[in-house]
Amino acid sequence: MNNENQKEADILDDEEEGIGLFPSWNWLYLSVVVYTTLLIGLLYLFTVFLDYSAP
């Protein structure tokens, strides 16, 4: 039972601690969302500006 409690505590610690440059997991998740938005934006720019089809 103690092991179970310890494991649960480890999991909670895991969720609260910082990850590298990011102060928390939520900031890391937010960076993924921003990254995805930037990717879509970049691909949209490709679509618009690299279209040289004849008029």
Partner 1 sequence: MSLLDWSVFAVYFGAVLAVAYSQSRKNVGVEGYFLANRRLPWGAIGLSVMATQASAITFIGTTGQAFENGMEFIQVYLPQPLVMVLLCVLFVPFFYRAKVYTAYEYLENRFDAKTRSLTSFLFLVSRGMAAGIVLYAPAVVLSVIMSWDETVTILIMGVVTVLYTMMGGITAVIWTDVLQMLMMFAGIAVALVVLFGALPQEVALGDVVYIGGIQQMWTSIDLSWDPTNTYTLWSGLIGGFFLALAYFGCDQSQVQRYLTAKSLKQSRLALIFNAFLKVPMQFAILAIGVLLFVFYHFERPPLIFNPAETALVQDSSQAQEFARLEVEHQATHELRKKATLSLLEARRNGENLQSWRRQISQYDQQLSALRSDSKQLVQEVRGASSNDVNYVFPSYLVKYVPAGLLGLMIAVIFAAAMSSLDSELTALSSATIVDFYQRYFRREASSQHYLMASRVATLFWGVLASGFALYAGQLGSLIEAVNRVGSYFYGSLLGVFLLAFLVKRANGNGAFAGLLAGMLAVFVVSETTDLSFLYYNVVGALVVVAVGTLWSLGRSQGAEVSG
Residue type, 3: N
Each residue 1-40 as x (binds partner 1 by CB under 8 A) or -, in order, gives ------xx-xx--xx-x-x-----x--xx--xx-xx--xx
Token pair recorded at residue 51:
């279209």
Smallest distance from the beta carbon of 35 to partner 1, in angstroms?
A: 6
Q: How far apart are the first and last CA of the chain?
A: 73
Residue 52 CA: distances (Å) to CA of 17, 24, 46, 47 = 49, 44, 11, 10
Residues engaged in binding partner 1 (CB under 8 A) = 7-8, 10-11, 14-15, 17, 19, 25, 28-29, 32-33, 35-36, 39-40, 43-44, 46-47, 50-55
